[in-house]
Amino acid sequence: MPRTNLIFSLICALLIASLAFVIGVVLSFKFVSAPSISIKGWRISPLVGTIAADPYTRATIAKSGLLALTRKEAIYLSADSETETGAKLSENCDYLVEGIELPARWWSITLYAEDDYLAQNDDGHPSFDATASKGAANYRIIISPKKPVSGAWISSKNGGNFRA
Amino acid sequence: MSGAKLKKSHYLIIAIVALAIGHFAYIFLSPYVFMGVAMKRLSNGWTMTNQFIQGPQTTMHSRQIVRPSPDMAYSVCVYDLRNSSIHIRAAPWDDYMSISVFAANGDNIYSVNDREAPNGVDFVLEGPTYATIAATDVETVYSPSMHGIILDRRLAPTKQRFELAKVARQNNICAPNTLK
């Protein structure tokens, strides 16, 4: 009897350990994020891609930014919520992105769907880049599922809760 | 009989320890897993290593690597340094271009752009065991892993520029090193 009890206890322990291990992996996959700095809703992770990256940054980038360039080549700014309200960006809303010409050799704003790939639409407007701004001092871009009457446009059709 | 049973507190400790192991396993191993998946996809199941493969223009159907830029033309070489070092050459480009080398854990171990190499990129990639002797007259880059990815990015935001990039990239080389 004691041996039976022990075997039963060990089986229970093994099941609990397996379940807890899987939960640990799943929760980490879902919630782990890299240390970042936030500027008006735009987040930046300075150690992206570098050998000096901490394990959390490396794990985050492996999931959502594999093959990212280091700060020597590029800086990635990411936004998934409205600047003023903090609400998640959604294809059900229209947004205005405006700013001044960025002090960079080249820049672009690209819309990615929730799965971190380009949104599944054939509108042909997944991004807006510096060559399209033609050196203007300011830029104004509409993010919307429907093409605006005028102006620069990034299509959010089928983007769900997208990020830019 | 009761002495042979585990107490509730034991189960709790086991659960917490297993949870922590799961968390740290994900943190430390996931970069290798994600890179492994990417290398397998990009080399067509490991059948096309040590050669540049030209990617098509990025569209909504591009789903090999997360967050692709629709404004870039990509070429990729999945490297395998087990048998020899490899020689990489990338043709020059009249706008932004870069060559980046990624190790098996996703670290960007080397990158060079068109301003640093206006006449094109030329280097030898050597493995961590230094099993082969790299040529001395070109730059040698050392990878901490036997496998990884070399990525050629060229700014080509229009169809016309992409077609030009396609032509330029035809002169790229990623092949076993024959330089002595």
What CATH number is associated with residue B140? Answer: 2.60.40
Note whether residue B170 is domain-resident. Answer: yes
A5-14, A100-109, B8-17, B128-137: the lowest-pLDDT one: B128-137
pLDDT of residue B134: 54
pLDDT of residue A83: 83
pLDDT of residue B24: 95
Which domain range does residue B108 map to? 8-59+70-180
Considering only alpha carbons, which residue of chain A is nearest residue B102? Answer: A67
Q: Quick check: A134 pLDDT over 50?
A: yes
Q: Give how far B135 is from chain A: nearest CA, Å.
A: 26
Query: Which residues between 74 and 103 in chain A have a beta carbon less than 8 angstroms from any beta carbon of chain B?
Result: none
pLDDT of residue A47: 73
Q: Convert the pLDDT of each residue in B90-107 to its tens digit.
A: 999 999 999 999 999 999
Count of domains observed in chain B: 1
pLDDT over 70 for what percent of chain B? 93
**CB-based contacts of A156, cutoff 8 Å, min separation 6:** A89, A91, A95, A111, A119, A143, A144, A145, A162
Q: Alpha-carbon distance A22 to B134, whole Å?
A: 44
Sign of the four-CA dihedral B174, A65, B65, A98: negative
Q: Give how far A92 is from chain B: nearest CA, Å.
A: 20
Classify B128 in phi/psi space as left (phi over 0), alpha (psi -120 to 50) or beta.
alpha
Task: Identify the band that residue B132 occupies on the pLDDT scale cut at 50, 70 and 90.
Answer: low
User: Residue B96: its chain A contacts at CB < 8 A?
Assistant: 105-106
- Which among A81, A98, A114 is positioned nearest to A154, based on CA atoms? A98
| Strands lying side by side in the sheet with A138-144 | A95-100, A138-144, A152-155
Note whether residue B2 is domain-resident. Answer: no
Q: What is the mean pLDDT of residues A129-157?
A: 89
Nearest 5°: the CA angle B146, B147, B153 is 135
Q: Alpha-carbon distance B88 to B150, whole Å?
A: 9
Q: Does A104 touch chain B (CB under 8 A)?
A: no
Q: Are A73 and B100 within 8 A, CB to CB?
A: yes
Q: Convert the pLDDT of each residue in B60-70 to its tens digit.
A: 999 888 889 99
Q: Are A18 and B18 within 8 A, CB to CB?
A: yes
Q: Does B162 touch chain A (CB under 8 A)?
A: no
- Answer yes or no: CATH 3.40.50.360 is held by domain A82-164: no
User: Residue A51: its chain B contacts at CB < 8 A?
Assistant: 107-109
Question: pLDDT: is A89 or A100 the higher one?
Answer: A89
List the structure tokens of A93.
């809303």
Q: Quick check: A113 pLDDT over 90?
A: yes
Note whether residue B81 is domain-resident. Answer: yes
